Structure 1
Amino acid sequence: MSDTIRYGIIGSGMMGIEHIMNINIIPDARVTEIADPHEGSREWGRATAEGEIEEYTDYREMLEKAPVDAVIVATPNFTHKAVLGDIFETKLHVLCEKPLCTTFEDAKAAAERAKTHEGVFWVGMEYRFMPPVTRFVEEVHGGSAGKLRMFAIREHRYPFLQKVDDWNRFSRNTGGTLVEKSCHYFDMMRHVVQSEPLRVYASGGQDVNHLDEKYDGETPDILDNAFVVVDFANGVRAMHDLCMFAEGSRNQEEMSAVGDSGKIECLIPEGNVVIGKRKPKSVETVHVPVQAEVLKAGFHHGASYYQHLAFQCAIREGTAPQVSAEDGLRAVAIGLAAHRSIEEGRPVLMSEFGL
């Protein structure tokens, strides 16, 4: 590998563009190739990348011909199985956007293949890497709230954005909202709680968004709100509160960890971490800033930039990925369990997935 890590971007839509913008501001890294069958997406990628790039309509040609060190998979969710199958035939380092795959069987197969893949295999769970979230996790794991008993993650945001051919309007393409969107948060639950889930209870529906849209006579079926409760093996209870018609929120993401001696909160995009103590009662607010240049390079409060730094460190030093294919599999499984709970009106045991 050369001193500069050469990237190939597979899928130069919105998330692919965010990766390009962040790679642009990292020394010794450069996007040299883009593969996307959609001309408009390739044009967007061409306009965003710095320096000359090669373009491909078929990512398989790029894998065969291009002198790259690492690839980013930012294609529609339902394509991940096939794309990863071809990448596993190479020795390239890979950062695969979430969700790993849309079904448990496909995600499990990818996780198994990743165990023997010669390159670094990393799943794109950006929320772990937001600087305020990083500080929040440090406080939780450092014992600022005492022994953790409850953990909650709220995302109140805007509806799903339009994508090429509106592929994200149907659960068969995305894996379902609680896989597509919320696998980030189920990954955060495992990361913060440091245990594995036992059972999942969920309630959700499609009550506001996309109900007046039709695609070949078919109405979108993606959930736009849900509550998900997860019981962990170490006794911690976790909850995810999702609403995708809540643009009027002051903060899009809010996290809360409550222990036996205190409470810690994280508020995004305010960038504040609030540390509360029970005895004596006290509340301290710590602002965690992010460089303006980093904030401008995407929509995840600087997370993509810091994730790329960590990914590149793993490549250069030969260390294990901070977010593995196994992590990606388990996040998908929790999302699928939540959907099953909603559909069948019952708690779902993770043992039903063999986990």
Structure 2
Amino acid sequence: MSDTAVPDADETTDADVSPLRVGVVGGGFIGRTVGTEFVEHEDADVVALADIDPDVLDETGAKLGVDADARYDDYETMLDAESLDAVLIGTPHTLHYDQILAAFERDLHVLCDKPLTTDLDDARDLVDRDADRDEVLMVGYQRHLYPAFVEARELWAEEDREPRWITAEVCQDWVDRFEDAWRQDADLSGGGYLYDTGSHLLDCVLWSTGLTPEAVSATMQFVDDAERIDGRANVTVRFTNGATASFSLSGETPCMREHVRMWDEEGAVTLDSKDWEPSEYAEIDEDSGEHRPRLSRGDQPTKAEAFVEAVRTGEDPVATALDGLRVTAVTEAAYESARSDGSFVAIDPEDVTLD
């Protein structure tokens, strides 16, 4: 870690804070968009970039204002050559584990795009390692920042409320759009639509409800003969409190829509999104019908803002390594079920139990 690391908030004033020196690993969509959030943050500087594609390296490097001599075709070379405080990892899914470990070895803060990993043992290992570190590891599940899902999480945290029946669906034009992209190369993506956009859907339900999954059943339609890339999936999750969640995912529709319904004996919360906009929120109850609380979107932080805040305060990030492990555990169980006979696959309680 460099000498410009952001100090603890209790030991300094805002005027004394040196900008967080950030290196970006992967110059694709996440590297450009979240990297730009860091560029626009007054307490962060993007000072280095690594990508294996020279054209991407030049284009994203120019967009983020990274000097030509701080652009690298190898991320470990960048980590060794540059004085960094943190890295943003926006690479294909199966690369995350090794790249996070490399950052851990250099005592860097890490913001990694979802999923945390595509291997359950690797996810367990990262959770264990992260518990022994002072630095921040945040996973890029942005629905943790959406006021609608924060509101839902607060409602289900109330002492007398607990969801019992959940339905969640998401769809988009994914199969055709990414036919020749890394997202449909299982060696890089780890799976198909469930491991890509579906990861967000699983996460938002697990995080906002706080429920503990115990078993998963799934059926999938694969777009490849090896049955590694799913284009459509139907997943049922059974929770320890007796609740169930039904997830329906399709990567074969002309536009994006997301709908989540969470019911208990008193009513429900509904969350709806289109075209990647933050979700709209409503509550339903037997007496007053449906109503929409006024939510302030002006207070919604970016991923970079949430990450820098966690670094400065020393508090847990909004999406932790354990959140990532929980999603990986459910996802891997779903693929195991779908590739066999669709029967329920049990989940190890240690992988999904919240502290």
Q: Same fold (TM over 0.5)?
A: yes
Instruction: Provide the C-alpha distance between the structure 2 equivalents of 1:51 and 1:335, rounded to a whole number of angstroms.
Output: 36
Residue 346 of structure 2 aligns to which amino acid in structure 1?
L
Instruction: Provide the C-alpha distance between the structure 1 equivalents of 2:137 and 2:146, rounded to a whole number of angstroms.
Output: 20
C-alpha contact (below 8 Å) 2:115/2:328 kept by paired residues: yes
Pair 1:348 & 2:355 matched: no
Residue deviations 1:305-326 (CA, integer Å, cap 9, x gap): 5332221111011112232222
C-alpha contact (below 8 Å) 1:179/1:336 kept by paired residues: no
Residue 261 of structure 1 aligns to which amino acid in structure 2?
E
C-alpha contact (below 8 Å) 2:124/2:325 kept by paired residues: yes
CA drift at 1:187: 2.2
Of 125, 136, 143, 1:120 maps to: 136
In the alignment, which residue of structure 2 is the partner of 1:329? 325
Instruction: Provide the C-alpha distance between the structure 2 equivalents of 1:354 and 1:287, rounded to a whole number of angstroms.
Output: 36
In the alignment, which residue of structure 2 is the partner of 1:187? 203
Residue deviations 1:78-133 (CA, integer Å, cap 9, x gap): 22232122212111100111112221122222222222234111122122222333
CA drift at 1:159: 0.6
Instruction: Provide the C-alpha distance between the structure 2 equivalents of 1:9 and 1:232, rounded to a whole number of angstroms.
Output: 38
Of 220, 229, 234, 1:227 maps to: 234
CA drift at 1:46: 1.9
- Give the TM-score taking structure 2 as reference length: 0.83
CA drift at 1:70: 0.9
In the alignment, which residue of structure 1 is the partner of 2:280? 272
Residue 321 of structure 2 aligns to which amino acid in structure 1?
A
Q: Select between 255-264 and 187-196 the one with higher mean Cα deviation.
A: 187-196
With over 3 angstroms needed to count, the CA separation of the structure-2 counterparts of 1:324 and 1:189, relative to structure 1, is same
Q: Secondary structure at the match of 1:152?
A: strand
Residue deviations 1:271-300 (CA, integer Å, cap 9, x gap): 42121111x242113465646xx9xxxxxx
In the alignment, which residue of structure 2 is the partner of 1:297? none
In the alignment, which residue of structure 2 is the partner of 1:7? 22
Matches within 5 A, 1:281-296: 281-286=288-293, 288=295, 290=297
In the alignment, which residue of structure 1 is the partner of 2:303? 307
Instruction: Provide the C-alpha distance between the structure 2 equivalents of 1:341 and 1:44, rounded to a whole number of angstroms.
Output: 42
With over 3 angstroms needed to count, the CA separation of the structure-2 counterparts of 1:119 and 1:236, relative to structure 1, is same
With over 3 angstroms needed to count, the CA separation of the structure-2 counterparts of 1:220 and 1:50, relative to structure 1, is farther
With over 3 angstroms needed to count, the CA separation of the structure-2 counterparts of 1:131 and 1:352, relative to structure 1, is closer
In the alignment, which residue of structure 2 is the partner of 1:299? none
CA drift at 1:26: 2.4
C-alpha contact (below 8 Å) 2:227/2:339 kept by paired residues: no
In the alignment, which residue of structure 2 is the partner of 1:298? none
In the alignment, which residue of structure 1 is the partner of 2:260? 255
Matches within 5 A, 1:200-219: 200-206=216-222
Of 66, 76, 84, 2:92 maps to: 76
With over 3 angstroms needed to count, the CA separation of the structure-2 counterparts of 1:256 and 1:226, relative to structure 1, is same
CA drift at 1:331: 0.8
Count of residue correspondences: 330
- Sequence identity, in percent? 24
With over 3 angstroms needed to count, the CA separation of the structure-2 counterparts of 1:323 and 1:272, relative to structure 1, is closer
Of 31, 51, 59, 2:75 maps to: 59
Pair 1:88 & 2:99 matched: no
Residue 94 of structure 1 aligns to which amino acid in structure 2?
V
CA drift at 1:141: 3.4
Residue 198 of structure 1 aligns to which amino acid in structure 2?
E
C-alpha contact (below 8 Å) 1:272/1:286 kept by paired residues: no
- Give the TM-score taking structure 1 as reference length: 0.83
CA drift at 1:142: 4.6
With over 3 angstroms needed to count, the CA separation of the structure-2 counterparts of 1:110 and 1:153, relative to structure 1, is same
In the alignment, which residue of structure 2 is the partner of 1:47? 62
In the alignment, which residue of structure 1 is the partner of 2:14? none
With over 3 angstroms needed to count, the CA separation of the structure-2 counterparts of 1:139 and 1:45, relative to structure 1, is same
Instruction: Provide the C-alpha distance between the structure 1 equivalents of 2:155 and 2:122, rounded to a whole number of angstroms.
Output: 36
Instruction: Provide the C-alpha distance between the structure 2 equivalents of 1:169 and 1:353, rounded to a whole number of angstroms.
Output: 31
With over 3 angstroms needed to count, the CA separation of the structure-2 counterparts of 1:352 and 1:223, relative to structure 1, is farther
Instruction: Provide the C-alpha distance between the structure 1 equivalents of 2:181 and 2:270, rounded to a whole number of angstroms.
Output: 35
With over 3 angstroms needed to count, the CA separation of the structure-2 counterparts of 1:22 and 1:128, relative to structure 1, is same
Residue 264 of structure 1 aligns to which amino acid in structure 2?
V
Instruction: Provide the C-alpha distance between the structure 2 equivalents of 1:133 and 1:5, rounded to a whole number of angstroms.
Output: 28
Q: Secondary structure at the match of 1:113?
A: helix
Residue 239 of structure 1 aligns to which amino acid in structure 2?
S
Q: Secondary structure at the match of 1:127?
A: helix
CA drift at 1:349: 0.7
CA drift at 1:73: 1.0
Q: CA RMSD in A?
A: 2.7
Q: Secondary structure at the match of 1:86?
A: helix
Unaligned runs of 5+ in 1: 212-217, 295-301
